[in-house]
Amino acid sequence: MQIPHRFLSISTAEEAKEYFSNIDRHRIIYKYDSIKDDLVIRLVFNSALSDDRKDWIKWHTEDVNQKTKNLIRNIKVAENPAYHPVGQFGTCLHGGNGAASTRYIFTRICPFAVSLFNNDELVLTYLNEDGMSIESE
C-alpha cells in the first residue's frame, strides 16, 4: 500500500530542502508487526473510513484526557516539585529581613522535563549581553 506524501505540499521550498538534506534526522521508521498495524494504517489514510477514524480519534482523545486528569489528581505537589530551588534564600530568624532578594533566587527544572522537548527545537529566544546569554525575551 502506497501512502501519498500530502504533507509535502504544505512545505515551503526551504523546508523541503531541509527535510531532504538531512533525511536520516527526519525519517521515521515504523516497525510493521501484524495485521493490526495494517488495519490502523487503513483507518488513518482511507477516505472511506472517515467516520470510523473520527470515532477512533474521539475515543483516544477522551482516554488521554481522562488519564491526564487522573495523573494530575494523584500528583502531590510537595513530593514532586516541577522546579527545584537553587541557592541560599536566607532565614526567617529576623522576621524575614535576612531573606535573599527575589532577583537572586534561581530554580532548575526537574530532570524528566527535558525529555518533553527535542534538543533541536528552541523554545525560547535568549538575549545576549557582552557575549553572554542573560535571559529569555
The domain ranges of the chain are: 6-74, 83-136
pLDDT at residue 27 tops 60: yes
Residue 75: band (very low, low, confident or very high) from pLDDT cuts 50, 70, 90: low
Percent helix, strand, coil in the chain (nearest 5)? 50, 10, 40
Measured CA to CA, the distance from residue 114 to residue 52 in angstroms comes to 36
Measured CA to CA, the distance from residue 118 to residue 94 in angstroms comes to 45
The percent of residues above 90 in pLDDT, for the chain, comes to: 12
pLDDT at residue 43 tops 80: yes
- Please name every residue paired with 128 in a beta bridge, in sequence order, or none if there are none: 133
More confidently predicted of 7 and 60: 60
**What's the predicted TM-score (pTM) here?**
0.36
